[in-house]
Structure 1
Amino acid sequence: MPALAIAFFVTALLYASVGFGGGSTYTALLALAQVDYRILPLLALTCNIVVVAGSSLRFARAGITPWRGALVLTGIAAPAAFLGGLTPISEKAFLGILGVSLVLTALTLLVPVQETPKKHPTRLAGVMPLLAASFGYLAGLVGIGGGIFLAPFLHLARWDSARAIAATASLFILVNSLFGLAGQLLKGGAGRLGTAVDLGLPLIVAVAIGGQIGSLLALKYLPQRWIRLGTAALTAWVGGRLLLNL
C-alpha cells in the first residue's frame, strides 16, 4: 500500500499540474495491484473528485471558466456518464478499454497547446457536443473524467484560450466523475463505496496532497512541456503494462 500511495501522489501531482484528475491512471494502478475490478471505478472517480474540485473552484474564483460553453458541454456529458456508470461490463472488456484509453491519453498529452486561439473556431467546434457525450459515457464506464480526451479537441477547434480550456476540462471531469459515481453506486450498491473508501483512504489522502501541490506549485517551477511529457510517459507505461497483462 505505501508504494501504491506514492504512485497515486505522483499521478495526482502530474495530472493536476496540467489541469486533469488522473482517474484513468488510478484505475490502471489499482488493476495492476489486482484489486477487484468492480470497485476500481468507485475509488478512481472519488480520487478524481478530490483532485479537480479544488482546481475547478480556483478557476471559477479567478473568473477563467467560460461558463456558457463549459456548462453546455458538461450538461450533455453528465447524463451519458451516469449511463456509463450503470452499464454492466466484463473484467476483460473493462481492462481492455481502460488500457486503450490510457495509451490514447498519452497521445493526447502530446497535442501542442496554443495559449491564444485564432479569432475564429474551426468546424470541429460544431461536433464538440457529440464528442462530449461520448467522453462522458466512457468516463462513467471505466472510472475516468473524460476531460483529458475533450481538451485536445477543444485546442484543435480553437474553442477558447488554453486557460479557459483547462478550466472547462476541470469542470467536465468533476461533474462527469460525480454522475459516473452515482451510476456505479446504483449498479453495484452503495455498500461497494464503503469498501472502496476503506481500502483506499490512504490513496485518497495521497491524491488530495498531490493534487494541491500540483495545481499550486508545479507550474511555477517546471516548464509545462516537461510536465506534460512526464505525464504522457507515466500514462503510456501504465496503459502498456495493463494491455500486456490481458
Structure 2
Amino acid sequence: MDEIIPNLYFLALAFCIVAFLYSSVGLGGGSSYTALMAIIGVHYLLIPTISLILNLIVTSIASINFLRGGHGRIRLMFPFLITSIPMAYIGGSLHFPKDIFFLLLMATLVLVALRVYVWD
C-alpha cells in the first residue's frame, strides 16, 4: 500500500502539469493522461474512463475561457460537439482484453508521436 501513495502523488502532479500545458494551447491532453496511467500501472479498464473525464474537464474549462474571450463561434463548434459527445461515450464503453488494449495504446501513441515529430 505504501508504494501506491507516492505513485498517486506523482500522477496528480503530472496530471496538473499536463492539464496546464495542453490547455494553454487549446488541447485536452487525453493521450498524455492515458500514457501516464499506463506507465504508473493503473488498471487498464479504468484508463479510458479516467482519461476521458480528465480530457472533458480540461477542454470544457479551456473552451469556456476561449468563448468568454470572444475568440470562438459556437455555430462553428456545434457540429463537433454534437458528434464528439456520443462518439466519446461509445469509445469509452469499448472493453478489450488487457494485451489488446496495451497493443492498441502503444500503436496509437507511436503513430501520434510519428505524426507530430516526423510528418508535417
TM-score if structure 2 supplies the norm length? 0.75
> What's 2:4 paired with?
none
> What's 1:57 paired with?
64
Tell me, yes or no, if structure 1 residue 16 matches structure 2 residue 26: no
Contact 1:11 1:25 in 2 (8 A): yes
Contact 1:26 1:44 in 2 (8 A): yes
Question: Counterparts of 1:106-185 in structure 2 under 5 Å?
Answer: 106-110=113-117
Q: 2:97 aligns with which of 80, 90, 100?
A: 90
Contact 2:52 2:92 in 1 (8 A): no
> What's 1:28 paired with?
35
Size of the aligned set, in residue pairs, is 112
Contact 2:49 2:92 in 1 (8 A): no
Tell me the distance in 1 between the aligned counterparts of 2:100 and 2:22: 25
Contact 1:15 1:22 in 2 (8 A): yes
Q: 1:100 aligns with which of 104, 107, 110?
A: 107
Deviation at 1:17, TM superposition (A): 2.0
> What RMSD in Å do the two structures reach over aligned CA positions?
2.2
Q: 2:11 aligns with which of 4, 23, 46?
A: 4
Contact 2:34 2:48 in 1 (8 A): yes
Identity percentage over the alignment?
Answer: 37
Tell me the distance in 2 between the aligned counterparts of 1:108 and 1:68: 29
Tell me the distance in 2 between the aligned counterparts of 1:40 and 1:102: 14
What SS does structure 1 have at the residue aligned with 2:64? helix
- The aligned amino acid for 1:94 is F
TM-score if structure 1 supplies the norm length? 0.40
Q: Where does structure 2 lack aligned partners over 5 or more consecutive residues?
A: 1-7
- The aligned amino acid for 1:57 is I
